Amino acid sequence: MDKVILDKLLHQVEKPTRYVGGEWNMVEKSEAGTHFALCFPDVYEIGMSHLGSKILYNILNGMDDVYCERVYAPWTDMEKALRDNGQPLFSLETKRSLRDFDIIGFSLLYEMCYTNILTMLDLAGIPFFACERGEDMPLIFCGGPCTVNPEPIAPFMDAIVIGDGEDVDAEIVREYRKAKAEGRSKDELLQRLAKLEGVYVPKLLGVDGHDVITRRICKDLEHAEYIGKQLVPHMGIVHDRVAIEVMRGCTRGCRFCQAGYIYRPVRQRSKELLLKQAKELVDCTGYDEVSLLSLSTGDYSQLHELLPQVMDCMEQKRVSVALPSLRIDSILKDDLERMQQVRKTGLTFAPEAGTQRLRDVINKNVTEEDLLRAVGDAFEAGWSSVKLYFMLGLPTETDEDILGIADLARKVSAVYYAMPKEKRQMGLRISVSASTFVPKPFTPFQWVPQCSLEEIRRKQMLLKNALKGARGVEYHCHLSQLSVLEACFSRGDRRLADVLVSAYGKGCRFDSWDEHFKPQMWAEAFEENGVTMEEYANRERSVDEPLPWDHIDIVVTKDYLKKEYEKALQGTTTDDCRKKCNGCFAKRYEDYCSLS
């Protein structure tokens, strides 16, 4: 793109920094034979915070003769500026038009970003449907957690990666380069891609044995490629810090948690490697915070050895260490006291449900005593602000369970005020956040209906009223209509691709942003295509009926999920699989799991 045109566009938007590129540690290559567009269908601040994109950026740019550039969804002001000036969507590194790339790869983290995919394709002049794109068009594929049910977006994609992308994305690039060198057609390339483990080619489903696609698993996390030199943005982003992935997967088996099933088995990095990565990333970025990431960092086997070493290393540099949402049964008192010496980072606990009965249903395997001990340790260590995450609408939930959330919040408040005055920090702040339960594929709750919109709103109001007057407690709930739409696309089929196109045509994009969500337009899009939200979100499904994602094998068996569903309805818990193997994997995958 010409610099004069770019300057004109940047003067028409609120945050031009989103589009200029040139960040510290950005990769620059003078020339390359294959150009790869790493696309994130949300704004720069969110996309730049995504750890998986950082890893892929490093891996792909480490390949000879391959240049991977970033493209984020333009905010509505930039979309308008591009259209008004007749300009295509472009990359940050070289301002190359998206359509001029050889390969386009989308990272899909959340169903509500699907219309942004259409925005990006539209602004590039690329037809939405794969069947309408010719040989001159880029190869377009996607990956990320959403792809475990790929069907709602399958018609838009040439190929879809199921599972970990560290190895398979590079294999896709190599197959593309080989096919191009041999003068092969796109159809011939797709046939080759369909033979790669973890790659789903929608147009070939059921053809030549392409009927079950097995999730790709990065078995050796210790030797897997990581971030390299982390990009440092010009502006504040959502997670503006060094991120270290300590482990992948979770052994807890919470029955609502899709990530806990689709990222099995647990794989972890050694504390020596993590300390090395933390030092290198702080040195090459200048960040003043290191976050130790995983689904359950408190379960990392060497956490009590790692934390003191990281804190010792970072203390002189005035770099703080943060942990994400903590298990409330994690024993971290001594570590918490050390962590707040540099800077108090946020502390988040996730009880999920307000009563023990419901926590047993969802297999949370923690008690009220665990929570009160954990927050008590935090208060004793000097914290006065904690976040508590809950869900509304969980299977078998009653009003008593909802009132239990308010009761639990009051007990947490009482723990704080029971301390001597001289130990209290100023201003207790307990943030109670209640999201709406969304039934997700590949969980024991994939068959259950979501509560109706009216019932969700009633539950939200019941909790809000119950929390009134609770000392130091703030209440936050999520947009209920958005949760219904998320449930639709989470459990949807290919008919929803047409719904997406219709909604996009009505102006739907950035649907996860409250100010841009258009529920009436979505309702019209569903009606125009002869389907309803209720049939996707609110219908109970038989455990024996075919599901839209049955052709995806995530290695946890459907029989195991059925057994867990039955145990949930009985209120029976399942042990953490670090204690004993519960037999979730099919026999042929037993060697994947070192815990079995």
DSSP code string of 346-384: --EEEEESSSHHHHHHTT----HHHHHHHHHHHHHTT--
| pLDDT over threshold 50, residue 294 | yes
Angle formed at CA 315 by CA 310 and CA 317, multiple of 5 degrees: 110
pLDDT grade for 15, boundaries at 50, 70 and 90: very high
DSSP code string of 56-99: HHHHHHTSTTEEEEEEEPPPHHHHHHHHHTT---B-TTT--BGG
Q: Are strands 267-268 and 247-248 parallel, antiparallel or unpaired?
A: antiparallel
C-alpha to C-alpha distance for 387 and 211, rounded to whole angstroms: 44
| pLDDT over threshold 90, residue 225 | yes
C-alpha to C-alpha distance for 574 and 300, rounded to whole angstroms: 20
Label each residue of 91-116 as H, E or C.
CCCCCCEHHHCCEEEEECCCHHHHHH
Overall pTM surpassing 0.85 (yes/no): yes
Please tell me the total number of residues recorded for the chain in this structure.
596
Helix, strand or coil, per DSSP, at residue 27: coil
Using an 8 Å Cβ cutoff, are 354 and 402 in contact? Answer: yes
- pLDDT single digits (tens) 364-389: 999 999 999 989 988 888 888 899 99
| pLDDT over threshold 50, residue 596 | no
Report phi then psi at 385, rounded to 5. -135, 120
Query: What whole-number percentage of the chain has pLDDT above 70?
Result: 96
Among 267, 290, 237, 91, which residue's Cα sits nearest to residue 166? 267
Q: At what angle do helices 76-84 and 114-124 cross, to 10 degrees?
A: 20
Report phi then psi at 584, rounded to 5. -80, -25
C-alpha to C-alpha distance for 269 and 395, rounded to whole angstroms: 35
| pLDDT over threshold 90, residue 590 | no
Average pLDDT, rounded, for the chain: 93
Residue 386 token pair: 């904690």
Average pLDDT over residues 144-169: 97
Radius of gyration of the chain from Cα atoms? 24
Q: Which long-range contacts (CB under 8 A, 24 or more apart) does 126-132 make?
A: 126/98, 126/99, 128/155, 128/156, 128/501, 129/155, 129/156, 129/497, 130/155, 130/156, 130/157, 130/158, 130/202, 130/203, 131/155, 131/203
**Alpha-helical segments (H) within 439-550:** 453-466, 480-490, 495-505, 519-528, 533-537
| pLDDT over threshold 50, residue 231 | yes
- pLDDT single digits (tens) 310-359: 989 998 888 988 887 666 666 566 666 666 665 566 688 899 999 999 99
Average pLDDT over residues 435-441: 97
Average pLDDT over residues 445-466: 97
Among 407, 344, 322, 318, which residue's Cα sits nearest to residue 371? 407
The reported pLDDT for the residue numbered 326 is 64
Residues linked to residue 292 through DSSP beta bridges, in sequence order:
244
Helix H or strand E encompassing 388: strand 385-392
In 258-368, beta strands by DSSP E? 267-268, 289-293, 320-322, 348-352
Chain center to CA of 185: 34
Q: Are strands 348-352 and 385-392 parallel, antiparallel or unpaired?
A: parallel
Using an 8 Å Cβ cutoff, are 486 and 450 in contact? Answer: no
- pLDDT single digits (tens) 456-505: 999 999 999 999 999 999 999 988 899 999 999 999 999 999 999 999 99
| pLDDT over threshold 70, residue 29 | yes
The reported pLDDT for the residue numbered 138 is 98
Among 477, 487, 486, which residue's Cα sits nearest to residue 538? 487
Using an 8 Å Cβ cutoff, are 272 and 244 in contact? Answer: no
Give the CA-trace dihedral at 170, 172, 173, 176, to 10 degrees. 160
Helix H or strand E encompassing 245: strand 242-245
Average pLDDT over residues 65-91: 98
* Residues carrying CATH 3.40.50.280, the chain: 3-214
Pick the CATH number of 3-214 from 1.10.3720.10, 3.40.50.280, 3.30.360.10, 3.30.390.50: 3.40.50.280
First-residue to last-residue Cα distance in the chain: 54
Q: How many CA atoms lie within 13 A of 8 on its CB side?
A: 13
Burial tier of 63 (Cβ tally within 10 Å: 0-12, 13-18, 19+): middle
